[in-house]
Chains A and B, each alone.
Chain A
């Protein structure tokens, strides 16, 4: 079945530091890939997405590139802010088959940014 693996967390950074959160996936075919963010006490917000190989998703300074050869979708940001502190989830959705329409999530990575 499909699966998503995120880097072990939590991640603690100082403001303006560079962020990388690793994500690798296992899926059949060509899934669409996503990063969601969850702030304390809230639901999930879509941060960015990529629907085919070599696509780069970007939003609010965050970027991730769909790498089919390494089955990866690592999240990066050049300069984090305190307001970026949240839990980040990598996820995929398969285009067809029995998993059609179902989001598969990683376990989440807690990011804490200190001033």
Chain B
């Protein structure tokens, strides 16, 4: 079964540093998403991406965050100047076109800011 692949699985970074989280969506999917889940809390939407541009972003997704699709397969989330409260599990998801298209989530990147 096709998978969404995320790297790295774990990332520890110092406060103030920049991190790039990487995702390879399923190849025929056209809609991409980033979500995050702080430990013990709910899954929160960050941003959606379609046709090489952001289609929607949440209040969380401020100037500290950016997304890119640098080539035909990768989808990245960059977090600049990380803060302690950015520590969370970050999930990438993708889905095909069509109303019933299921959202497939990657296995996540656990980001720890120290």
A joins B in a complex = no
B positions within 8 Å CB-CB of A: none
